[in-house]
Structure 1
Amino acid sequence: MAEMTPDEVNAYLDSRGGYAVLSTIGKDGYPHAVPLGYFRSGQEIVLPVRGQRKVNILRNPKVAVTVESGTSMKDLKGVVIRGDATLVDDPAAVLELVREGARRRGTAEDQLPTTTRTGAAYVRVSMKKVASWDNTKP
């Protein structure tokens, strides 16, 4: 199984318009894994959080993010990122992240959100340790 180069990892993460699985550690020590929309910002993955995910991150910021694609072993690709999550809950900073995410999805500048929902929060996950695979490579 071939790995991706750092540039290929970034291109792959940027090309995936769907979901990533954010894994946090619950109070009981077990993983809590949930699919969420995401985008890459530099060397960080940005995802919305609330509820149990937010509680878990405040208790233990060590998380994993998984993005994968493929329908058979021949075309399977993916990335697992392990890093520390930094909570962003300041309303102005959250709005900037909401707008950045919308831009990445192709929203026109004049159509970008101007408000966020009360209590909205995001996390920025550092790309401390990255594992990747690309079964389409020879």
Structure 2
Amino acid sequence: MTESEAWEYIESKPGWIALSTNGHDGFPHSVPIGYFASSGSIFIGCLDQTQKVKNIERNQKISLTLESGETMANIKGVLIKANAEVIRDDDERLAISQLAALQRGVDEADLPQTVRPGSIYIKAKPVKIVSWDYGNR
């Protein structure tokens, strides 16, 4: 895939994205999680103080994997190497929450006006994107 095709694929949200952080024991910590993309970044909402958040605070380097397809003829995906930032600021979280709602088709009049206590966002800024599309060989 070209870079623009990779972003189109990411923005199409074909499924859960796998977030991999570096665990305190040196092993990868990988979890499937919801996400959305905007302005060249990938945003993930979750509860604060989870293992993934603690790992990111210790080491901001993460990877994200998104894959779809069921046979070799139609498998495609991306591996994203990124630097992550934990966002706890209420105003920033509210803006991100509203952006996520708009992407889901929520009317502007119905956008969230407050943030959920104990929640945060992870903002992933891609450093490198590797992609594959076996159906395009």
Instruction: Tell me if both proteins adopt one fold, taking TM over 0.5 as the criterion.
Output: yes
2:14 & 2:100 partners in 1: Cα distance? 10
2:35 aligned partner, one-letter code? Y
Match of 2:7 among 10, 34, 41: 10
Q: Distance in 1 between matches of 2:4 and 2:24?
A: 36
Ranges in structure 1 where 5+ consecutive residues have no aligned partner: none
1:18 Cα deviation after fit: 3.4
TM-score norm. by structure 2 comes to: 0.93
| Greater mean deviation of Cα atoms: 61-70 or 102-111 | 102-111
TM-score, structure 1 as length reference: 0.92
How big is each residue's C-alpha offset from its partner over 1:82-136, in whole Å with a ceiling of 9 and x where there is no partner? Answer: 0110111101111111111111121221222222211211111111011000111
Which residues of structure 2 form unaligned runs of 5+? none
Alignment match, 2:84: 85
In the alignment, is the contact (CA less than 8 A) between 1:88 and 1:123 conserved in 2? yes
For residue 130 of structure 2, what is the amino acid of its counterpart?
A
Choose which of 15, 19, 23 in structure 1 pairs with 2:20. 23
Q: Does the C-alpha gap of structure 1 residues 116 and 58 become closer, same or farther in structure 2, counting only changes over 3 Å?
A: same
Question: Residue 62 of structure 2 aligns to a residue in which SS?
Answer: strand
Which letter does structure 2 place at the counterpart of 1:11? E
Q: State how far apart, in whole Å, the 2-side matches of 1:102 and 1:62 are.
A: 27
Secondary structure, in 3 states, of the residue corresponding to 2:73? helix
CA distance in structure 1 between the partners assigned to 2:132 and 2:81 by the alignment: 15
1:131 is matched with 130
Match of 2:136, SS state, is: coil
Change (3 A) 1:78 1:38: same
Could you tell me which residue of structure 2 aligns to residue 53 of structure 1? 52
Q: Which amino acid aligns with 1:16?
A: K
| SS of residue in 1 equivalent to 2:26 | coil
Give me the CA root mean square deviation.
1.2
Q: How many residues align?
A: 135
Q: Tell me how far apart the structure 1 counterparts of residues 122 and 41 of structure 2 sit (CA, whole Å).
A: 9
SS at match of 1:27: coil
Which residue of structure 2 aligns with residue 44 of structure 1? Answer: 41
Of all paired residues, the percent bearing the same amino acid is: 39
List 4+ stretches of structure 1 deviating above 2 A: none
